[in-house]
Amino acid sequence: MNRFIRQIRSYGEQMRSVAANEVRMIFGDSGVVLVVVLALLIYATVYSLAYGAEVLREVPVGVVDESRTPSSRALVETFNAGPNTYVAYNPADMQEARQLFFDRDIYGIVYIPADYERKLLGGEQADVALYVDAGYFLMYRQVFQEIVTSIGKTGAMVGFQRLVAKGANIPQAKAISQPVVYRAHNLFNPYLGYGTFVMPAIILVIIQQTMLIGIGMVGGTWREKRLYGKLRPAGRQRMSTLPIVAGRGAVYAAIYAATCTYILAVHYRLFGYPMNGHTSAVLLFVGLYMAASIALALAVSTLFRHRENSLLLLLWTSVPVLLLSGVSYPREGMPDWLYSLGQLLPSSHGIRGFIRIRSMGASLAEVAGELRMLGILALVYGFLACVGIHRAISREAQEEAADIPAESR
């Protein structure tokens, strides 16, 4: 029993020593401070400001009205009635409209043919052509949705007037011209804001990526300067790497606990993001996500021989990581092997679970699958981190042993 207690105390002292060394390495390196401490705050703020408008409004369109009749002018007025589009130009012909379109002065063209009113009043089906820029999906959605809705309302009104003119009473005319009335309820994102949709996922990706890069920079510095030997307690030949991983991980957990508390408690309120879900569920889930991300970062950091390797190898991975999570593109559209590859990353499970809790108000029981996978990844990557650090220390000891005879000669 006494031996067990002494061992626990020894591990505790080793953890404190490792943690102290890690703190000195982090705050003694301005590059690491920028990535580990400040990057999450900077990126979250910049992205949130960029998406602050949430919804794209007042998209300019052009209308080529060859009918030039009261009916066509009434249709054009409906395009200005909604918040999404406004008629910026009235080109004389399609050639002029085409030039405005390619000059990016307008993002949609509505063509009203000369026989529009004649067909409309004659009981025939009138045609209206719509050309929309699909190169920008947000532009396309706003223009297409607004103009199609306006045309649909105009068509229903014309049908209603025809029925009344034929002698139908008003309730009958309404029921026939518009047989189905729908009421839309946008759950979890009532204003269909792009920032509300994408920012929770981006924040989780930033947490993981800054950990990978920052911890990788520290690991590369340890290898480059042969400092891993300092993690071995003085006078001890055999050692466990578990206290080393725990000590280093505790430092990063404390730093990210502070920055994530600000993000989840203050930043979310400043930018009006949904704050559903019980606080304890959010904290537990984010805590387990950070544990898996830290373990992954510590394991990967043992592979770098120089601090710059972390930036060169990991900086470009942020966009693929977001893609593999299934947020920016549905999982159903991905190849199975690519989706399976994404399951090796904490971000894939973390983003899905975090959005369900924070945006949708899910309970921990409803994200049990994500919690289980994050726990498995934390254990697997934690084990790999222990193996990697042990090999780094052994390799450093062998290199130092090889240098001593060379110096004596």
Q: Identify whether residues 273 and 306 lie together within a single domain.
A: yes
**Domain end call among 152, 177, 202:** 177
**Domain end call among 148, 177, 206:** 177
The verdict on residue 387 lying in a domain is: yes
Chain-centroid distance of CA 8 in Å reads 41
Q: What is the pLDDT, as a whole number, of residue 325?
A: 83
Alpha helices in 122-274 (DSSP H): 137-165, 170-177, 194-224, 242-262, 268-270
Which H or E run contains 60?
A: strand 59-65
Q: What is the pLDDT, as a whole number, of residue 409?
A: 45
The verdict on residue 205 lying in a domain is: yes
Q: Identify whether residues 375 and 306 lie together within a single domain.
A: yes
Q: What is the pLDDT, as a whole number, of residue 323?
A: 84
The verdict on residue 185 lying in a domain is: no
Q: What is the pLDDT, as a whole number, of residue 374?
A: 96
Strands 129-132 and 59-65 turn out to be unpaired
Q: How far apart are CA 391 and CA 387, in angstroms?
A: 6
Intra-chain end-to-end CA distance of the chain, in Å:
49
The verdict on residue 350 lying in a domain is: yes
Q: What is the pLDDT, as a whole number, of residue 232?
A: 64
pTM reported for the whole predicted model: 0.83
Taking alpha carbons only, the member of 341, 371, 328 closest to residue 353 is 371
Query: What type of residue sits at position 75?
Result: L
Q: Identify whether residues 100 and 21 lie together within a single domain.
A: no
Q: Summarize pLDDT for 317-342 with one digit per residue, the tens.
A: 888 888 888 877 777 788 888 888 88
Q: Classify the phi-psi angles of 300: left when phi > 0, otherwise alpha if psi is within -120 to 50, otherwise beta.
A: alpha
Q: How many CB atoms lie within 10 A of CB 382?
A: 21
Question: Which residues are within 8 A (CB) of 257 and not within 5 positions of it... i.e. 6 or more apart?
Answer: 287, 290
Q: Identify whether residues 368 and 404 lie together within a single domain.
A: yes
Which H or E run contains 61?
A: strand 59-65
The verdict on residue 332 lying in a domain is: yes
Q: For the chain, how many structural domains are there in total?
A: 2
Q: Identify whether residues 311 and 275 lie together within a single domain.
A: yes
Q: What is the pLDDT, as a whole number, of residue 370?
A: 95
Q: Identify whether residues 120 and 89 lie together within a single domain.
A: yes
Q: What is the pLDDT, as a whole number, of residue 260?
A: 94
Q: Identify whether residues 32 and 64 lie together within a single domain.
A: no
The domain that holds 97 is classified in CATH as 3.40.190.10
Decide: helix, strand or coil at residue 130. Answer: strand
Task: Give the structural domain span for 306.
Answer: 2-52+193-408
Q: Summarize pLDDT for 348-358 with one digit per residue, the tens.
A: 999 999 999 99
Alpha helices in 69-169 (DSSP H): 70-81, 94-102, 116-121, 137-165
Q: Identify whether residues 268 and 206 lie together within a single domain.
A: yes
Q: Classify the phi-psi angles of 167: left when phi > 0, otherwise alpha if psi is within -120 to 50, otherwise beta.
A: left
Q: Identify whether residues 151 and 243 lie together within a single domain.
A: no
Q: What is the pLDDT, as a whole number, of residue 379?
A: 96
Q: What is the pLDDT, as a whole number, of residue 197?
A: 87
Q: What is the pLDDT, as a whole number, of residue 146?
A: 84
Q: Identify whether residues 128 and 275 lie together within a single domain.
A: no
Q: Identify whether residues 281 and 385 lie together within a single domain.
A: yes
Q: What is the pLDDT, as a whole number, of residue 170?
A: 72
Q: Identify whether residues 216 and 319 lie together within a single domain.
A: yes
The verdict on residue 187 lying in a domain is: no
Parts of the chain with a pLDDT under 50? 406, 408-409
Q: What is the pLDDT, as a whole number, of residue 375?
A: 96
The verdict on residue 6 lying in a domain is: yes
Q: Judge whether 202 and 50 are in contact, CB under 8 Å.
A: no
The verdict on residue 182 lying in a domain is: no
